[in-house]
Structure 1
Amino acid sequence: IMHLPFRGRLKLLVASLTAVILLTWLYLLAGNLENGRSLLLSPCLSETPEARVLERAVLESRVREMEEENRQIRLQLNQLQGTAGQPADGGNYGNAAWGASADTGPEDVENTAEERANHTECPRSPTVLKCELVFFSCLIHVACVCAGHNASRDVVTLVKSILFHRRNPLHFHFITDAVANQILSSLFQSWMVPSVQVSFYDADELKSEVSWIPNKHYSGIYGLMKLTLTKALPSDLTKVIVLDTDITFATDIAELWAIFRKFTDKQVIGLVENQSDWYLGNLWKNHKPWPALGRGFNTGVILLYLERLRRIGWEQMWRLTAERELMSMLSTSLADQDIFNAFIKQNPVLVHQLPCFWNVQLSDHTRSEQCYTEVSDLKVIHWNSPKKLRVKNKHVEFFRNLYLTFLEYDGNLLRRELFGCPSQATSESVRLQGALEELDEDDQCYDFRRERITVHRVHLYFLQYEYTPAGDDTDVTLVAQLSMDRLQMLEAICKHWEGPISLSLYMSDAEAQQFLRYAQASEVLKNRKNVGYHIVYKEGQFYPVNLVRNVALRNANTPYVFLADVDFLPMYGLYDYLRKSVVQLDMANTKKALVVPAFETLRYRLSFPKSKAELLSMLDMGTLYTFRYHVWTKGHAPTNYAKWRTATTPYKVEWEADFEPYVVVKRDCPEYDQRFVGFGWNKVSHIMELDAQEYDLMVLPNAFMIHMPHAPSFDISKFRSSPGYRYCLQTLKEEFHQDLSRKYGAAALKYLTAQRNI
């Protein structure tokens, strides 16, 4: 049927509907023959009273089945005529697009008036037009309020747990501040999960709605914003599941969505009873909580029937409730939860109580053990405690392991397609698929070329980041990249460089959590807030070194950047010296790349030189060497170390083949060429392009950096041991030269000539 033209499909469905109605009528007529005898039962059986009861039950069951088939065919007609093919709103991310009104769950078969108006039912067993029904009728909407760096990390674990179990398309609605918006929008764009759509809403625009409410809870003003969702979310969105960021799913979220169909006509909110004694007021002497119905309800998991809430005037009702209670309570203690509970106390008919396993609350004063007897009972785990994994619960180790599973789970595995149906691809996924199809799988360098078009997940600002721009427009960010085996360099770099730093870390999900624990335990790192840590998640068989560098470069937020490597320690005071050099050399109005001379030590313990004079003395004594003097002299020879020894003013040097100095440039400099992965030519190609763009290479006379020893990387080992690796690197070099010539014309011919003369 999917291969028929639209008009043909429509005619076929109309004919099917007519035939089913006719058959139903004939069947009912047959069922009402003399003595009520059914065609399904033999005459002898139908003579007894028990048989007649059974006969009637079978008949009623069959009628219901026929009615359900009729309803599904009507739904398919509606899908063909209206809902199917509606484009998604612009500015959203994902690998599928759906109509805005498609918001009914997989078990939602009871056809209320508002549901019939929206045509959003999801059939239990769609056998016709399966893919269309799945994508347009089973979309589940999830909303979260997320603000700041820590909440952005938490929400990723929540999303992983949902994606792991889900079998439905999802639409996430995030109420975010600017920080969370930047982090999550970048993450979902690069994650590219099929059948997931994401929308963002500016929390700043909602602050005025709740800023008048004093709140003692650590969540602050953002802890009150769930009250505003009827206003914040699209007006045609009828239902949504609202979740706190400290939630972990242990089952398919579609099961929770299906509970909407169990609401009575008057119910508008679904909640789990509070599992602590907070609202009973007996936790300590003179404890006076907000009013609540019995134990009250926890708002970590909420089913909001938005359409009905708008109809009853939710915005006015919760405001009146809050104003009335604040006259005596003065402030909220549990943010939105207090106001929801006071509202429910006055309007108990509006709440649908969810089974408690939909919000197993883990904190020191809960009775969550009463919610489950078997592991299979668990649906949603709520870590509603600032102490997270250290709460008092006899099964906390089990819950902890469940949480850690998703915390460290490889997010790349969640990019799987759903249902065996093709996703409605985004332009980016179409472009990537086209690029992949153009590759020759028989090419010896296929793996290198594929790496260039691989999209890596990126989590920006993985840790808290605070930076106040300098007022004189001379600020410089140190830009570098690293993997897990260079983690020990971070503390030393922070001691040597007091300015802002932008670091990209190439890690797996599990390694990222190890890094988090390392950083939080380090007195040096946890006190430095002007370091931006950006996680680029591992994928593929090569280290995408230039892609990782570019992530750090793009997210530097100062006018100038110092492009370094993490295994170098800058001289003490280099940050201030570079800022002065920026002014001295008028970098704001000229194209210059300031070269910081590089040296190295072969000793793991080094008394770091405090001045140029001390460094020269160590150089003469053989404690230090010019960088790669023993193995790759040409990489830094054009720096002219002999001249640098006596220089007192900056001097210009000319580009030479294989020159790869560490430089200070404007932030809008060319990015690194991402075809170069692993070891070889990743910095050389960048300096070549700076020269092609006519940057002057100026060596700074009183600046230096020192390379610290470490074990060889895995990539350099592959380069040394694999002829195929070296062949492909040479091939990529030649292709880079060709691209450079096309981009910069005849001026780029000197690079090709220089390479041939080596």
Structure 2
Amino acid sequence: MNYSKMWTNRCFALILEVLITITTFLVVKHLGIDHFKHKFRINCMEKTLHKIGENERVIVINNMMRADDKQNKEDISLLVQGDISKLHYVPQLAQLWEGPIEAVFYHTNYADLDRVVSAIIQLRYCFSHIRKHVTWHFVSPSQNDEVCKEEVNIAPHLSFCDDGDSACENHESSCEFFFAKLRNNLTDPGLDVNYWFPVNVLRNVARNNTKTDWHLTLDIDLVVSESMRERFLNFAKRNGVFNSLSKPIYILPGFEFTSDSDDLPRTMEELFYHYYITMGLRVFHEWCKTCYHHTNYELWLKSCQNQQLKGKTDIIVSHYVQWKSSFEPYIIAPNTIPMFPEQFQGYGYNKISQSYETALAGYKFAVLANAFVVHHGWKSPTEGIKKLQLKHNSIIWEKLKRKLHKQYSNRLI
């Protein structure tokens, strides 16, 4: 018997086992998971917000799961928010943006955080762009003096797979199976049509956590045009945007696509095709003439078409616009612009209020050519509970306008 060879093999096996254990420990430590107890450790803070005259506490979990890549200050962060039923939009956004993303999600049932964390961990497992670029934050109402938990239980890896599912036998098929289930099954029953969603709280959580000097704030169900971040950074370097003292902010024209599929227009060629030929694309909030039409879409389309005829696809400034009543464009902006007023909840004035104060503060609105955002599906006119929310928020809006006029020395725009 060759004892030397046997001991060599045994030592090799022990070394391999130790290396696997160390590697596993480092991986789960990086994810914040206690591998043996299936615990996920989090940091919490509580804040107060106001809703229809009564105080409501929310639990805010900052940096619940961090992106792997480090962030550069001279960059743009994409700030997105939504409820957990829209988690399935994140992979496409992460792939298109290819840079830092602060994602804030809301769930009415804090006790269900375990399942949300499990879903996010599996998204990180399945999509490398999410692992690299997306930092996750969580907001939930605090009910019955519920204390923010320092750790939560999570389901074992690939918990969306049932025992015996052949689709879960390998990485690719298991991720496809998980994503299909995520899209259809992860919902928040507490978020019915009557819910007053604290959208500006979520937007500010994302903004407060960004590490870059510039940002773009979007709802999670919008997508950006192809390579937008990279092309804007090139534009910024060519024009000294990051060192500018002229207070510019940059408008991205918004559109709506008739389908809620992932096959949205991403290039100018695709935008022209669906806008002029299939008629499946229309201006964002077509029925609200004051919300986005001040962008001057006709001039923008002509500018983009002229660039296409010249064979140029670089992002440039198409034209400048003045802020007008109810204007709420999607903007790439420095972190020096005003925050979102958190007294607005539900539908109406939540974005207009911030846009208005930004204009009062002296920022100039430049519309970018060869860049745009698209919403999944066509928006519907205000109806039902939205009318009540709009009426309520209009009262808050009038009070805020008077306050802002005094704050900015009665400046009018």
Q: Is the 8 A contact 1:678 1:716 kept in 2?
A: no
Partner of 2:236: 582
Number of the residue aligned with 2:139: 536
The one-letter code sitting in structure 1 at the alignment partner of 2:62 is L
RMSD between superposed Cα atoms in Å: 3.6
* Residue 327 (structure 2) aligned to one of 659, 662, 683: 659
Q: 1-side partners of 2:379 and 2:358: how far apart?
A: 31
SS at match of 1:546: helix
Give the deviation of 1:548 after TM superposition: 1.1
Which residue pairs with 1:116 in the alignment? none
Aligned to 1:524: 127
Aligned to 2:170: none
Offset of residue 739 of structure 1: 1.0
Query: Taking structure 1 as reference, are residues 387 and 716 closer, same or farther at Cα in structure 2, changes over 3 Å only?
Result: farther
Is the alpha carbon distance of 1:517 and 1:526 closer, same or farther for their aligned partners in structure 2, counting shifts above 3 Å?
farther
Q: How far does residue 609 in structure 1 lie from its aligned partner after superposition?
A: 3.0
Judge conservation of contact 1:639–1:653 (CA < 8 Å) in 2: yes
Point out the structure with the larger strand share: 2
Aligned to 2:403: 739
Instruction: Note closer, same or farther for the CA distance 1:476–1:716 as it changes in structure 2 (3 Å cut).
Output: farther
- Residue 567 of structure 1 and its aligned partner are, at CA, apart by 0.9
Alignment of 1:54-453 (within 5 A): 386-388=35-37, 447-451=51-55
Quote the offset at 1:612 in angstroms: 1.2
- Residue aligned with 1:700, SS: strand
- Asked if 2 retains the 8 angstrom alpha-carbon contact of 1:519 and 1:525, the reply is no
**Looking at both structures, which has the greater relative contact order when contacts are Cα pairs under 8 Å and sequence separation is at least 6?**
2
8 Å CA contact 1:638–1:656 kept in 2: the answer is: yes
Looking at structure 2, the residues matched to 463 and 455 of structure 1 have their Cα atoms a distance apart, in angstroms, of 23
Partner in structure 2 of residue 632 of structure 1: 288
**The residue matched to 1:460 in structure 2 has which SS?**
strand
Point out 4+ residue stretches in structure 1 off by more than 6 angstroms. 710-713
Q: Who is 1:668 aligned against?
A: 336
CA 663–585 in structure 1, closer or farther in 2 if over 3 Å, else same: farther
Query: Aligned to 2:62, which of 440, 443, 460?
Result: 460
The aligned counterpart of 1:719 is 386
Matched position secondary structure for 2:203: helix
- 1:504–1:534 contact (8 Å) kept in structure 2: yes
- The whole-number CA distance in structure 2 between the counterparts of 1:686 and 1:447 is 18
Q: TM-score, normalised by structure 2?
A: 0.69
For 2:4, the equivalent position in structure 1 comes to none
CA deviations 1:53-76 (Å, max 9, x no partner) are xxxxxxxxxxxxxxxxxxxxxxxx
Match of 1:164 in 2: none
> By how many angstroms is 1:544 displaced?
1.4
Matched to 1:592, the amino acid is P
Q: Could you tell me how far 1:526 is from its partner in structure 2?
A: 7.6
Q: By how many angstroms is 1:610 displaced?
A: 4.3
Q: What amino acid sits opposite 1:465 in the alignment?
A: A
Cα deviation digits, residues 290-341 of structure 1 (max 9, x gap): xxxxxxxxxxxxxxxxxxxxxxxxxxxxxxxxxxxxxxxxx9xx99xxxxxx
1:642 is aligned to 2:276: no
| SS of the residue 1:502 aligns to | strand
Give the helix-richer structure, 1 or 2.
Answer: 1
Cα distance between partner residues in 1 of 2:36 and 2:77: 34
Q: CA deviation at 1:711?
A: 9.0
After superposition, the Cα gap between the structure-2 partners of 1:686 and 1:385, relative to the gap in structure 1 and judged at 3 Å, is closer
Cα gap change, 1:611 to 1:712, in 2 (>3 Å): closer
* Kept after mapping to 1: 8 A contact 2:249/2:365: yes
Aligned positions, number: 320
CA contact (8 A) 2:94 2:129 kept: no
CA deviation profile, 1:230-268 (whole Å, cap 9, x unmatched): xxxxxxxxxxxxxxxxxxxxxxxxxxxxxxxxxxxxxxx
Partners of 2:59 and 2:214 lie apart in 1 by 26
Q: Counterparts of 2:334 and 2:249 in 1: how far apart (Å)?
A: 8
The structure-2 alpha-carbon separation of the partners of 1:547 and 1:606, relative to structure 1 and needing over 3 Å to count, comes to: closer
User: What secondary structure, in the 3-state scheme, does the structure 2 residue paired with 1:466 have?
Assistant: coil
Stretches of structure 2 lacking an aligned partner (at least 5 in a row): 1-9, 12-17, 23-32, 144-194, 308-315
Aligned pair in 2 of structure 1 residues 385, 481: CA closer, same or farther (>3 Å)?
closer
Q: Give the counterpart letter for 2:75 in structure 1.
A: D
Matched-pair contact (CA < 8 Å) for 1:491–1:525: no
Residue from 362, 369, 374 that aligns with 1:706: 374
**Paired residue for 2:190?**
none
Confirm or deny: 8 A CA contact 1:519 1:526 kept in the other structure.
no
Partner SS state of residue 615, structure 1: helix
The residue aligned with 1:617 is 273
**Cα drift, residue 625 of structure 1:** 0.6
User: What residue number does 1:608 align with?
Assistant: 264
> CA distance change for structure 1 residues 456 and 585 in 2, over 3 Å: closer, same or farther?
farther
Indicate which of 68, 71, 81 corresponds to 1:481.
Answer: 81
